[in-house]
Amino acid sequence: MNELTAEGRAVLIEGVGLILWRWTAMRAAVENGWGGRDSQAKADGTVSTVFKFLIQSQDPARDIETLGDILDKGLDELNTTAEDGSVDEVANTLIDLYEDCCNHNYEMLEELRATRSQATASVVKVSNGNDEESDDEDEDNDQTTDMMVEASNQKPEVMPVDEPAADDGWTVVSSRKNKGKRN
């Protein structure tokens, strides 16, 4: 395997960031603030730790269990647990990215960049430790759909709930366009 060049390092750090940000467990933890106010900083720290591990390890592929431990620790800092095998899947993807970068093959990064704005479905079970275990076994699907999620750029709207209930038990909720005015 070739040495990691300066260009390869730049590609590697960007790719690590994209892979971890698209990992459902990591992204959900950050977006929901499960790690507290500094959830994003904790996730960024995991990106940095993974990058340092990859460039300092003599053979990251051989040390993949250590990489998995780093990913688990990163989720632990965000009060999150991935019980779906995605830690191993993400670790393998990171090793693939590292090896590609050492061989001056940056196609994976290009694919990650290209899918950045595409919404992708996910079947990953995400837990912040407050729910019961699940035995979903959909892990063998395409990696990009299993571990990548793109949320829409829209913020969730707060829906008014103080409207009087109709006779049938339903509550009338105003549309966003009416800004609270009833038709």
Q: What are residue 165's phi and psi, to 5 degrees?
A: -75, 140
Answer for the pair 38, 79: CB distance below 8 angstroms, yes or no. no
Query: From CA 108, how far away is CA 96, in angstroms rounded?
Result: 9
pLDDT in tens, the chain (183 residues): 678 899 999 999 999 999 999 999 999 999 999 999 999 999 999 999 999 999 999 999 999 999 999 999 999 999 999 999 999 999 999 999 999 999 999 999 999 999 875 544 333 444 455 554 444 444 444 333 333 333 333 344 444 444 444 456 666 665 555 454 554
| Closest by Cα among 118, 121, 108, 112 to 147 | 121
pLDDT for position 115: 85
